[in-house]
Amino acid sequence: MEVQIILLMVLLPLLMVRAKVPAMIVFGDSSVDAGNNNYIATVARSNFQPYGRDFEGGKPTGRFSNGRITTDFLSQAFGIKPYVPPYLDPNHNISHFATGVTFASAATGYDNATSDVLVSIHLSSSLFNTHFYSI
């Protein structure tokens, strides 16, 4: 209950700035990976049960959560969209990405050696991929 109240106190002011945030671009690790690792050869995946059981449709999406992740809640609070899609998902196109996308990859880190161990997208590669992303 206390956590919900704190979360509400944080998100409530964000609801008042809807028109000021046109898109959400996300970088990070498994805490914000929306499924990019589903599309690369790695063991760092969450595309199986129990992951996703509380997501729409009850299916795993590649999020390391049983439902939506923090960036999904923030995107909705800003009035952008209910969830932020993974950059590598072939089911999304540039028009979907116009309001935001996540380049995050589970098992990544600031040091490229971290990503090499479990085969994930290097943070530097994520930053490079933004070159191909345009709104």
In the predicted model, what is the mean pLDDT of the chain? 78
Tell me the pLDDT band of 135, cut-offs 50, 70 and 90. very low
Q: What is the pLDDT of residue 48?
A: 92
Residue 121 in this model has a pLDDT that exceeds 90: no
Task: Output the DSSP codes for the chain.
Answer: -HHHHHHHHHHHHHHTTGGG---EEE--STTT--SGGGGSS-S----STTTTTTSGGG---S-SSSS--HHHHHHHHTTS-SSPPBTT-TT--HHHHTTEEE---TT--SSHHHHHHHT---HHHHHHHGGG---
